[in-house]
């Protein structure tokens, strides 16, 4: 019986590093448009203590999201040792599409996926390229869709990418702007006769209590006549929502696989906020009346920030290829992928390497 496995992964993390000290000269305002009284040293220190972020990566001026995605894809294709002409689908998850460094205009026409296919030089018209808008969980949802295509006999190999240039849609007067970063992660998902692969998956969307407005496009915090929209979030509500719903979704997903929690080797969770992620994992294990193993949670948010759809695939690739911070994976290891983000969407995958 065939399974669905990740046969290659690749990452492109831009070389432009923006440390927290770069925000010391910013003028921050609250959501009511009032200047924040605290000095910036205090604001930045508190931000770092909560999120764990010390620095983040921004795309260079000459690169758009499709360029980042292309570079990550080339590395994933090389790792998978496949002919790109044999790809059946290219699925690109993102939130804001292509944005040039000198423009705030979102550009997703044509799709980012079509641009990536063009950049890769793929001639096969039956390689279908499309974009996926699912908030930060977009890459995981793309893997779930690729898995569905493969299980239905509609595909044998799919390229699933998460790529983002959020640095180009942040409001410099908003403290939350320090969270966001740029990057791209890509994976080749393929039918396999090996054991393991995707054992279970689960996706949810919460909107009944106004959750869809927790992360949104809104105007600047500072007083201005400019109507330009920027990425915004209700941070406290996102935090509280995630702590309640993500651990349960992870538990439900794991139980669908029939695997016991003590078999989980690693949890690759969306790198949104260090304290939040740690709390989610603790609550997940608490649902099983267990304690989280010390080395179960690899994290790279402190150096790469929150690149939305790119955080999970880039972290996975770093662990697979570099034994990142002592984290590694071996054949047969069981891992959980999980994410939460705009929508409000949550998803998870139980996966055996």
Which residues are designated catalytic?
136, 270, 306
Of the candidates 353, 1, 317, 4, the residue with the CA atom closest to the CA atom of residue 190? 4
User: How far does Cα 160 stand from its chain's mean position?
Assistant: 12
What's the first-to-final CA gap in the chain, in angstroms? 16
Structure tokens at 136: 């930060």
Q: Buried (b) or exposed (e) across 260-272, using 16+ Cβ within 10 A?
A: ebeebbbbbbbbb
SS3 (DSSP) at 17:
strand
Q: What angle, 0 to 180 degrees and rounded to 10, lies between the N-to-C axes of helices 311-322 and 65-80? A: 40
C-alpha gyration radius of the chain: 20
Query: Which residue, 339, 349, 346, 300, is CA-closest to 162?
Result: 339
Tokens of 287: 């649902």
């Amino acid at each position: 019986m065939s399974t669905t496995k990740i046969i290659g992964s690749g990452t492109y993390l831009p070389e432009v590093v923006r440390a927290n000290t770069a925000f010391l000269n910013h003028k921050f305002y609250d959501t009511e448009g009032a200047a924040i009284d605290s000095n910036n040293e205090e604001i930045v220190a508190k931000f770092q203590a909560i999120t764990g972020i010390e620095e983040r990566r921004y795309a260079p001026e000459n690169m758009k999201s499709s360029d980042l995605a292309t570079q990550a894809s080339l590395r994933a294709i090389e790792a998978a040792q496949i002919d790109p002409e044999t790809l059946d689908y290219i699925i690109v998850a993102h939130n804001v599409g292509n944005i040039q460094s000198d423009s705030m205009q979102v550009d997703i026409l044509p799709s980012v996926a079509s641009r990536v296919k063009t950049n890769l030089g793929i001639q096969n018209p039956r390689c279908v390229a499309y974009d996926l808008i699912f908030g930060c969980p977009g890459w995981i949802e793309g893997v779930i869709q690729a898995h569905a295509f493969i299980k239905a006999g509609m595909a044998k190999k799919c390229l699933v990418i998460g790529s983002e240039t959020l640095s180009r849609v942040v409001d410099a007067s908003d403290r939350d702007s320090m969270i966001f970063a740029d990057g791209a992660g890509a994976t080749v998902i393929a039918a396999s006769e090996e054991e393991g692969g995707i054992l279970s998956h689960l996706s949810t969307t919460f909107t009944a209590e106004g959750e869809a407005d927790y992360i949104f496009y809104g105007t600047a915090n500072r007083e201005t006549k400019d109507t330009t929209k920027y990425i915004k979030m209700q941070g406290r509500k996102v935090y509280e929502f995630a702590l309640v719903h993500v651990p349960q979704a992870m538990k439900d997903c794991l139980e669908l696989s029939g695997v016991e929690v003590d078999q989980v080797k690693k949890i690759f969770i969306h790198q949104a906020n260090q304290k939040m992620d740690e709390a989610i994992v603790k609550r997940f294990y608490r649902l099983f009346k267990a304690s989280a193993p010390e080395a179960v949670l690899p994290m790279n948010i402190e150096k790469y920030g929150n690149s939305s759809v790119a955080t999970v695939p880039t972290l996975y690739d770093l662990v697979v290829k570099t034994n990142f911070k002592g984290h590694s994976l071996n054949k047969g290891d069981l891992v959980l992928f999980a994410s939460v983000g705009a929508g409000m969407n949550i998803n998870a995958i139980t996966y055996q390497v």
